[in-house]
Structure 1
């Protein structure tokens, strides 16, 4: 039978490892950190859990074995992410951003750059190594590929200093994750998408540049205080004549493709994050419904309205999980190319399951608003998911539209797992 949703023995073991870590190590720390009012302190509180995750190979498992990683597939990543995010999606985002920052090197970097930066991450003995991915800006990110020249689109510039063979970064980034590092003095490495040609539009003038920790001219303001994902650090970064060697730049003129492909890779991960959050809400509400009588003569699970709502939530979780698995499987088949399908997994799951968490709150009633119970936190986390990671309205739906509008698009490509070439003409809609 060619279609089989049964996990292999290795995947069952991977799921157990991720679940044990999430329940026994992550959960106690995450609950305390979520209640911490200082966002930087909340993030720093997660470092012990991060170090333990590193020991288990969870921080850089996506990196191929030849560069010191575990070489796990996108489908394997789905299994890990669901277990971690069922406990704390903010911490899951910390792990996710390592991939957003470093995977572009696999796609567009030179062999020398891969050997330097990927091996540096995987060979770190402290377990603290962390990477930041910097695209978002104060003016927004949805128009990163705007056809207009500067100042349309992304506004952080990197002018080339030929005499010194350096790029000089100026401008700010707003909302990127993990970039400030554990001490707000910088991640070990920050990957920036910047405008290297102010005279060209976003589909020609953007590039990627790696900025190591301690580079002069890069400063970090206090992290953004948020309603959800409070264990994840979101930064405001200022670059003032920040100089970086030319060998730290890659994908010159193709920074837009990095943005599109990175958020394609993360699409199913964001989707399975929603599955994990909704699953936790569903499991807790099921137990509540089987014991809570609301002053009646039987538990509320025996009422048809409650049963119907719980059935709907269960169906949505299963449908979302398998769409995410299918999208991840497709990305494994086609070297991470599948821009419309990664986006579909993210859009469908995050929007559908936000409502599912709220349905669980309706079943529990006013008690769901109490911090004594988990649903209020789960709703705060679920509210983040349709908005972050190339928001479903701002960028992800535009990717689906752009791919489908192409004259050569095959409407059965995803069903048949056939490749779909992503073209720059599919951007900028």
Structure 2
């Protein structure tokens, strides 16, 4: 059989290099930042660690070598992500959102756009380049592919042909990195916009790059309970003007969203595994040393031993599903939408429960902040909600693929290619399949 779970020599080196960085550089920075009451200050406090990660190549490793990136595989990325998130998942999010923002330019942009924005990211002299992934809105992201133009994405981009510009008006909620280190904007904000007010989400959306310092933008930092070391903002657009050449994937913004969240799904899954592993490592050490007032460490008790074996098994299962999904994306040019979504839903939900079980082993002391278990809990509850939330976008994406007549249950086991198409979108936006709810006719004024 061609199945092989052995890491290459290079991948083992990557794993332990990132682990050393996470424990020696990231941990002390994250502990200080997580305790800060000011959300923006916590984010800024991570900048020195980010600059060191940039020097190591971590912040651009996912970008193609021909544009100065590291050319890392998706399997490489999930290995590195787990190591970072065993210490701090928020910091890993800063790095991975650089990928969510910049990879769409690689996939859908022109050669000129790649030369402009990707090489700027990989050749940043200050080593602090941020890409912002600007998709989420207060009420419209989960149904971004809804057939009605008044649903889904409502950041409008009006084409001012006379001035060769697009004018953006609206609001985004939850974009990560988008405010930048100084709240004057990320270096490269990739925004999903509505370029056609008369059509639904599978025809009307596009992507546009908003450069740092563009007038008309306002950023308000969101104060989160978890992943406090990364930045999320509310981003308001008031007649924001960008050149025509900043637009790409016109009419295919829906495919940009789906592919980007397909790429990030195994990374988010590995992040969940990493957080669970961090909690497990603490709980295992605790069980081997803590007596609970008895005569021997609590690992000698059957209930604790049984629960630890279940925890370890679930982490192993989650990790290997991440590797499988990442490998499939590597093999098939990112076309693994259903498997990646299943991976994200499974690991995010399962690892949250794993962290809770680790806290049960530690007992009431898990509530004491000085032990750090509560941070694992705060981070674990984020995973089902972020990165195209499990209850909305990710499950719908798998549903749409599985509903296709050509899909078979053997598809992923046989490692067969299966391209994602627009016909697979729209499931669940009106309470059923696209065939159950034909889009209404629209009249514009």
Q: Secondary structure at the match of 2:126?
A: coil
Query: Scaled by the length of structure 1, what TM-score is found?
Result: 0.99
Instruction: Show the counterpart of 2:135.
Output: 135
Aligned partner of 1:190 in structure 2 is: 189
> What is the deviation of 1:291?
1.0
In 2, Cα distance between equivalents of 1:337 and 1:134: 22
- 1:379 Cα deviation from its structure 2 partner: 0.5
Between the aligned partners of 1:345 and 1:298, the Cα distance in structure 2 is 39
1:216 alignment counterpart: 215
Q: Return the offset for 1:411.
A: 1.6
Measure the CA separation in 2 of the matches of 1:138 and 1:389.
15
Question: Is it true that 1:398 corresponds to 2:396 in the alignment?
Answer: yes
- Kindly state the Cα deviation for residue 425 of structure 1 after the two structures are TM-superposed: 1.4
1:163-312 correspondence to structure 2 within 5 Å:
163-221=162-220, 223-312=221-310
Note the C-alpha offset of 1:185. Answer: 1.0
Q: CA RMSD in A?
A: 0.7
Instruction: Kindly provide the CA deviation profile for residues 261-301 of structure 1, in whole angstroms up to 9, marking residues without a partner as x.
Output: 10000000000001110111111101101111111111110
| Map of 2:42 onto structure 1 | 42
- For the 8 Å contact 2:140–2:151, the answer to whether it is kept is no
Task: Report the Cα offset of residue 306 of structure 1.
Answer: 0.6
Distance 1:10 1:293 in 2: 41
Q: Deviations over 1:197-220 (max 9, x none)?
A: 011100000000000001111111
State how far apart, in whole Å, the 1-side matches of 2:298 and 2:17 are. 35
Q: Is the 8 A contact 2:130 2:187 kept in 1?
A: yes
**Inter-partner Cα distance in structure 2 for 1:241 and 1:264:** 32
CA contact (8 A) 2:206 2:252 kept: yes
Name the counterpart of 2:61. 61
3-state SS, counterpart of residue 370 of structure 2: coil
The separation in 1 between residues aligned to 2:255 and 2:83, in whole angstroms, is 30
Once residues 262 and 308 of structure 1 are traced to their aligned partners in structure 2, the CA distance between those partners, rounded to angstroms, is 39
SS in 2 for 1:126: coil
> Is this contact kept in 1: 2:140–2:154, CA < 8 A?
no
Residue segments in structure 2 that go unaligned for 5+ positions in a row: 428-445
- Counterpart in the other structure of 1:2: 2
Measure, in 2, the Cα distance between the counterparts of 1:188 and 1:308.
Answer: 50
Give 1:139 deviation, angstroms. Answer: 1.3
Q: Which residue of 2 aligns with 1:118?
A: 118
Shift of 1:153: 1.0
CA distance in 2, matches of 1:115, 1:413: 36
**What is the CA–CA distance in structure 1 between the aligned matches of 2:217 and 2:311, rounded to whole Å?**
46
In structure 1, C-alpha distance between the alignment counterparts of 2:43 and 2:223, rounded to whole Å: 11
Instruction: Specify every segment of 5 or more residues in structure 1 that has no aligned partner in the other structure, as ranges.
Output: none
SS of the equivalent of 1:415 reads: coil
In structure 2, what is the equivalent of residue 339 of structure 1?
A: 337
Q: For 2:152 and 2:51, locate their aligned partners in 1 and report how far apart those are by CA, in whole Å.
A: 37
How far apart, in 2, do the equivalents of 1:387 and 1:229 lie? 12
Distance 1:227 1:111 in 2: 40
Alpha-carbon distance in structure 1 between the residues aligned to 2:264 and 2:419: 19
Write the distance in 2 (CA, Å) between the matches of 1:139 and 1:347: 21
Residue 79 of structure 2 aligns to a residue in which SS?
helix
CA contact (8 A) 2:216 2:238 kept: yes
Query: Counterparts of 1:30 and 1:309 in 2: how far apart (Å)?
Result: 29
C-alpha displacement at 1:12, in angstroms?
Answer: 1.1
**Residues 1:412 and 2:410 aligned together:** yes
Length, aligned pairs only: 427
Q: 1:346: Cα distance to partner?
A: 0.6
Deviation string for 1:90-129 (max 9, x for gaps)?
A: 0010011000001011111111111110001001111111
Distance 1:304 1:374 in 2: 25
Q: Deviation at 1:140?
A: 3.8
So what's the TM-score if we normalise by structure 2? Answer: 0.95
